[in-house]
Structure 1
Amino acid sequence: MKVLGITGWSGSGKTTLLADLIPLLVAQGLRVSTIKHAHHDFDVDQAGKDSYRHRAAGASEVLISSARRFALMRELRGEPEPGLAELLARLTPVDLVLVEGFKREAHPKIEVWRADTGKPMLQPDDPQIIAVASDAPIDGLTVPLLDAGDVAGIAAFIRRWLADGDAAAAAATGARRGAAE
């Protein structure tokens, strides 16, 4: 599975970009999953529902299933928060996993940066950032600058990145095969 982060500071437009990108990539035939990191306590369950009552009663995991979907909730109950690698291992394989958050983890990322957030760019200090999507020109970038408003252009960049990775993997496999012969 290929993993690509959409990173940036709060308020930069990461979630909006992801919500616009996903249907474009899916329409182009990619199977896409997402992982979102939350920095605060969150709940996907509703008080009073059976699954909530099971969790509140002390169940370590609660799996809810219907004809349309299933959801697995796991209470950490003092265990350390799982890292990105552990979470990725739990996903069904797809063509691309888009990760929102986990900006300190080492995986390729596109930074969404807007000057009006008042925050500095992450890119100068993160060698894993392969491009920056912004609503303004940025001088001195060492990675491609993408127009944050051009979602189709960003999707095309991602498709090229995926293809380049496949080409590099094929070349490396061929080189290993040739060396072994």
Structure 2
Amino acid sequence: MQYRDQFRIPPAFLLVMAISSFTTATIIIAVGWSDLYAFVRGLPSENGTELFWVLLGVLTLEGGVAWMIMSWCRIELNAHGFRTIYPPFIWKWKVRSWNEVSQIYMDTLSPIGDLGGWGLRIGSVGPFNRAHVYAFNEGTYALFTLQSGRTVGFQIQRVEEFQTFLQTMAPSIPVLDPKSTLG
């Protein structure tokens, strides 16, 4: 038995990135059109080289952020523990065994209101000071407190399936659910 899920930042942000990229490129090209044109043709220009590298740098940065928005965070829980992967922040599976988990705290969180944004959020969440939370949508989150003192959390979209999983695969780990999110 296992529980799997995947998340990503809402793709609507790609529209914001496209508008930002288009606007920035238009401004750079409009301001230095003659110098850029001369640079591309190999003619001497006053600011062509700088404008070219600025334009290339901005478009590369925007493309990198767009790639981060489109990357998927994947989680898997099985009999051995749980693991996460979220490129570009975590390139290979980060594995945590059930022996490392001291408790599981269930809560309802909002990425913007409680965590300050989407994606991998590092900081404090409620009573947990050292938390790494994979935050993508508002809803029920499982916060796994590790023996080291760190807390790792992620959203649970299929609550009943998750509850059954915990009862079957990790019955010895205490589950704190003050808001009765598990029902």
Higher relative contact order (CA 8 A, sep 6+): 1
Using the size of structure 1 for normalisation, the TM-score is: 0.26
